[in-house]
Amino acid sequence: MEQDGNELKAVTMGAARALARSSASNVSIYLPGDAGGEPVLYRGAGIGLPNVNYRRLEASGLDHLLIDAEELRRCERALESELADILFDPTIDANDKAACAQQVGVNVARDFLAAGRPADHMDRAARLVDTLIDGVLRDRQVAGTLLNMSAHHQSTASHLFAVGALSTMLAFEILGDQPEKLRAIAMAGMLHDLGKMSLGAEILSKSTPLTAEEMLLIRQHPIESVRLLGDDPNASESVRLMILQHHERFDGRGYPLGLRADEVELGSRIIAVTDAFHAMIGKRDYRHEFSPIEAVAKMRFQVGAQFDPRVFEAWENLFRRSFSSVDRVLDYSIDDTAETGPGYHVDHQGARKTAIDRKTPRHACPQPIKARCLRTGRLPGVSGVWGKIECPIRDVSRSGACIDLTAPMYRGEVVSVMLDTGKGEQWIRAVVRWCRRGDVEGWRYQAGIQFMHRVSAAEAHSDQPMLGLSVDDEVLVVT
């Protein structure tokens, strides 16, 4: 996109907020034009990123700004060189620190991928890794926020940075304060998939099964990553080994060499866990993305096969601690998944009282679940009283219902719900909008459901096992 001969780059609101911390944040800012029209100058240089009213812009539906490419470059570089100061500044809060680290990390990884010659950026990566080790690992809150943030960034560059940062945290959990080893693992994490640059985009984004030939090519990428590093002194022998082995498995069924257990470098066993985690929480054409807690629950089935049990145990500890330190995330412990089977009824960071847009993947709820109605539609809350509630269906269709549950549900799960409308039973299909810890004894969770459409009793039963909810009162066990 161009404006007055200058190239403009799109910058997300989150990135703009982080860049506002830089000393070169004095950039000209443009807003995208309506319906693909010309960009409009919003703030000339002199006002700069710190003085943008982000809330107002976001409220108006904007998700990015446009900044002159040259000025943006300068601003990004300034943030990168000032990152250490930012991380050590006690007046800056953990969220801002993590956002700045994320921003710098993704920029460095992006330049790696774009350069074709990673060597040009190795010094930057090494500096970043040192800064992260000094500034992030010692601050649990920043580390936790960064871990949480990694769930929302899904480009290739952000994958490299996320695996680098997560691996460093996990290594710290296992090894403690051993800067040399941490540095090597961080570098290996940041560079592990560099070799994918040599693979065509068609292969990487393919949603159909890979041919044997394509599979062979993909299996070369750890070797290719090491080859691309050339003889750069920033990548030590152990960094290269870790990269080479990041797809080896604990049971020896990995590639390229089929090494097993302790034959595989500890750093590679660490990267295997964080790499799989970050890949799972990313969206793919052929499946929905997993929530972080869902991903960890699913990964647990691979302990002893794909993952080293000792490393995975440390990962669960780190994960549980870090995620519960972030207020946006509910404190469902990972053990909650044991109660209802793996992978289902586990909530994630999206559990907020916001509407689920139409693109959100929806999945039938496959587990029996107990529920009772707390309130519905415009009827007043009946907390503590479980008498009969007669409910016109329009109340549910207008504003949904709030229900008590014995197990957490996944945001976006679809339930079939039976309402007692006072004129007989009526089945509806509804989607879970949010789920959080409940405070009623015996009912550990509370969920909000959003009306989708009516269904006949036969349709309601034709699907997966479902939730029968009577607003009548009482507990309903659903089969």
Contact residues: Fe ion, CB under 5 A = 193, 275
What is the closest distance, in whole angstroms, from the C-beta atom of residue 182 to Fe ion in the complex? 19
Residue 265 or 275 with smaller CB distance to Fe ion: 275
The token duo for 390 is 């007669």
Hey, how many other C-beta atoms are within 10 angstroms of the C-beta on 380?
7
Residue 80 or 275 with smaller CB distance to Fe ion: 275
What is the closest distance, in whole angstroms, from the C-beta atom of residue 54 to Fe ion in the complex? 32
Q: Where are the alpha helices (DSSP H) in 116-211?
A: 122-135, 140-149, 156-175, 179-191, 201-204
Distance separating alpha carbons of residues 335 and 399, to the nearest angstrom:
32
| Helices and strands per DSSP (H, E), number in the chain | 18, 12
What is the closest distance, in whole angstroms, from the C-beta atom of residue 169 to Fe ion in the complex? 16
Residue 150 or 446 with smaller CB distance to Fe ion: 150
What is the closest distance, in whole angstroms, from the C-beta atom of residue 189 to Fe ion in the complex? 9
Residue 205 or 479 with smaller CB distance to Fe ion: 205
Distance separating alpha carbons of residues 389 and 376, to the nearest angstrom:
9
Residue 275 or 294 with smaller CB distance to Fe ion: 275
What is the closest distance, in whole angstroms, from the C-beta atom of residue 246 to Fe ion in the complex? 6
Strands 40-43 vs 370-376: parallel, antiparallel or unpaired: unpaired
Rg (alpha carbons) of the chain, rounded to whole number: 25
Rounded to 5 degrees, what angle do the CA atoms 86, 50, 139 make?
25
Q: How many CA atoms, within 13 angstroms, populate the side-chain half-sphere of residue 93?
A: 4
Rounded to the nearest 10 degrees, the angle between the axes of helix 309-324 and helix 140-149 is 100
Residue 59 is which amino acid? A
Residue 224 or 275 with smaller CB distance to Fe ion: 275
Distance separating alpha carbons of residues 372 and 472, to the nearest angstrom:
9
Q: Nearest 5°: phi and psi at 132? A: -65, -45
Q: Nearest 5°: phi and psi at 427? A: -95, 140
Contact between 376 and 413 under an 8 Å Cβ cutoff? The reply is: no
Residue 271 or 467 with smaller CB distance to Fe ion: 271
DSSP-derived 3-state class of residue 184: helix
What is the closest distance, in whole angstroms, from the C-beta atom of residue 275 to Fe ion in the complex? 4
Question: How many residues does the structure list for the chain?
Answer: 479
What is the closest distance, in whole angstroms, from the C-beta atom of residue 271 to Fe ion in the complex? 8
What is the closest distance, in whole angstroms, from the C-beta atom of residue 6 to Fe ion in the complex? 35
Distance separating alpha carbons of residues 13 and 25, to the nearest angstrom:
14
Residue 276 or 356 with smaller CB distance to Fe ion: 276
What is the closest distance, in whole angstroms, from the C-beta atom of residue 281 to Fe ion in the complex? 12
> Which residue do the tokens 């929530």 mark?
291
Residue 158 or 470 with smaller CB distance to Fe ion: 158
Residue 190 or 418 with smaller CB distance to Fe ion: 190
Hey, how many other C-beta atoms are within 10 angstroms of the C-beta on 403?
28
What is the closest distance, in whole angstroms, from the C-beta atom of residue 458 to Fe ion in the complex? 46
What is the closest distance, in whole angstroms, from the C-beta atom of residue 315 to Fe ion in the complex? 16
Residue 274 or 291 with smaller CB distance to Fe ion: 274
What is the closest distance, in whole angstroms, from the C-beta atom of residue 219 to Fe ion in the complex? 10
Residue 386 is which amino acid? W
Q: Nearest 5°: phi and psi at 5? A: 80, -5
Residue 193 or 248 with smaller CB distance to Fe ion: 193
Distance separating alpha carbons of residues 303 and 313, to the nearest angstrom:
9
Distance separating alpha carbons of residues 173 and 167, to the nearest angstrom:
10
> Which residue do the tokens 């443009």 mark?
30
